[in-house]
A and B are shown apart, each in its own frame.
Chain A
């Protein structure tokens, strides 16, 4: 059997060549997904965004955006932003301290596993049940409140504490913010290579100098990014607030909720503007989070 040496390699394709039209067909495969997300995610949100700039007749107007400047709405946004900032700050600091103690503090490895597992669950335990749990703990008849009164003579509520307040709510938020921070910062702490510490030591650095000049700077993109993530997380929370405070606590999601429910004077275009404001704020903070996360990953290479 002789080899056909006359055939050049180019004449013997390994696969049937695809015609140019075929390349277009491959896009069909993602059409269902794109159609779905467009119809049920992007579409509705865009509808609201566009609607924010329309008046009741459908014409272009900036009235709704201007209406966002009314004292009630501004107060709402201010409250939401303040609450989210405080909650994010609490979560960031507490999470960092806890993660550092558990991972780098010289404790047994099972402690870290226990906290990691619990954090996985607790970060999803937001909403109505969480509010119930805290009412049962720190409400007026809550277990801790009663124990403090009966065992230590400390009257929690008369000394100014109130679960159903700004700071009480932040304390409740901490229950799902802290675990989220822990879960995100833990791998970053692992990523602090032992050799950096040793190299710094060999160059004469004390512990504090190492953290100041190497440790914290390396962690800072992750810490900052996580802060933003916690901020966005807190900003969008509704069920927890509603279950704890009822309709009285006017954070932006609750205001929008009431608007939709029709419990207040129904002005759909104002609702659009509120929605726009929410999406913008959350979009900005999440985008910044992603940028910072990429920066942190690049350094770890």
Chain B
């Protein structure tokens, strides 16, 4: 007896797929229509030629990378320490790491502006560089739930207690243990979290706009008000970028510590010589 054709399920799946795909197709088509009467990549060319585009992309990229670096430096030792020494604090740490999810970015940046304003103890907003720092730290906070989760997951698959004891028995200090043993083994998890952070931070609007920094997000909004076709081109590029980040994030998430990129061309023997 053959299974009956699931017409209803197919219909639903098709409707769902078209809801997702049609806007992308429409945007792509729209982005090709800049040159009147023909389809071409003029909109994309215009975007790439724009000095503002280059400047804001560079700014946002640097800010994102800084956020990734600072986030890693703060979270990795902490997650390691908590797992190793004070496991009872783990629920508290997880709770704190999830707090950014209930604080909307607009509230967070408002708090920054008031707390670190010109008349406060730590007047970060008084200087450009200070504001840049604040922006980066804001990105660290926004990405914290994902970074902490990614790194904690990465730590859970390696037996850090035994690795630490092994390192100590071989004479390493706690600091060197972290740098030489722990970091390399959670590298994949860090990179995985990094891609997600990158994807969030690059096009971020609220923090950048309210802190008045020349980031990519505000540039996009401004462009949307001024131009017609370039925003569509940017939307497509942004989607492709997000897709790429997610794919790479997944790739690194399933990587085992020490897994090589490519298999060695010649097998190594225990003595280090190639057989």
Contact = CB atoms under 8 A, between A and B. Distances in A.
Contact of B234 (A120, A129, A174): A129
Given A131-B224, A257-B106, A279-B107, A41 B100 contact: yes
B275 interface: no
Contact of B78 (A33, A129, A236, A242): A33
Interface in A63-108: 94, 97-98, 101-102, 105-107
B187 to A, nearest CB: 20
Interface string A104-129: 01110001000100101110110111
A238 B86 contact: no
A32 B20 contact: no
A98 B16 contact: yes
A51 to B, nearest CB: 7
A28 B131 CA distance: 29
B224 A128 contact: yes
Given A26-B86, A133-B26, A121 B31 contact: no
A127 B200 CA distance: 10
B46 interface: no
Nearest to B199: A124
Contact of B103 (A26, A129, A174, A279): A279
Interface residues of B, number: 77
Interface in A153-203: 174-175, 178
B254 interface: no
A268 interface: yes
A84 to B, nearest CB: 12
Contact of B107 (A26, A175, A256): A256
Tell me what chain B mostly uses at the interface: helix, strand, loop, or mixed.
Answer: helix
Contacts of B221: 128, 239, 242-243
B45 interface: no
A5 interface: no
Interface residues of A, number: 74
B200 A124 contact: yes
A129 B108 contact: no
A251 B24 CA distance: 27
A213 interface: no
A175 B23 contact: yes
Contacts of A226: none
A133 B235 contact: yes
B77 A32 contact: yes
A45 B235 contact: no
A29 B234 contact: no
B215 to A, nearest CB: 12
A132 B16 contact: no
Given A26-B85, A32-B78, A121-B242, A45 B27 contact: no
B95 to A, nearest CB: 9
Given A136-B23, A137-B23, A27 B86 contact: yes
A26 B83 CA distance: 12
A132 B242 contact: no
B108 A136 contact: no
Given A128-B205, A238-B205, A118 B23 contact: no
A256 B210 CA distance: 11
Interface in B43-88: 74-75, 77-78, 81-82, 85-86
Interface stretch (B1-9, B34-42, B154-162, B264-272): B1-9
B141 A41 contact: yes
30 contacts: A30-B93, A32-B74, A33-B96, A41-B103, A41-B141, A44-B115, A45-B111, A47-B114, A48-B107, A120-B246, A124-B242, A129-B234, A129-B235, A130-B235, A132-B231, A132-B235, A134-B23, A143-B30, A174-B19, A175-B19, A175-B20, A178-B16, A238-B104, A239-B221, A243-B224, A256-B106, A257-B206, A257-B210, A272-B114, A286-B102
- A-B residue pairs, 6 tightest by C-beta: A44-B111, A105-B9, A29-B81, A143-B26, A236-B104, A101-B12
Interface of A: 26-27, 29-30, 32-34, 36-37, 40-45, 47-48, 51, 94, 97-98, 101-102, 105-107, 111, 115, 118, 120-122, 124-125, 127-138, 142-144, 174-175, 178, 232, 235-236, 238-239, 242-243, 246, 253, 256-257, 260-261, 268, 271-272, 275, 278-279, 282-283, 286
Interface of B: 3, 6, 8-10, 12-13, 16-17, 19-20, 22-27, 29-31, 74-75, 77-78, 81-82, 85-86, 89, 93, 96, 99-115, 137-138, 140-141, 144, 196, 199-200, 203-206, 209-210, 217, 220-221, 224-225, 231-232, 234-235, 238-239, 242-243, 246, 250
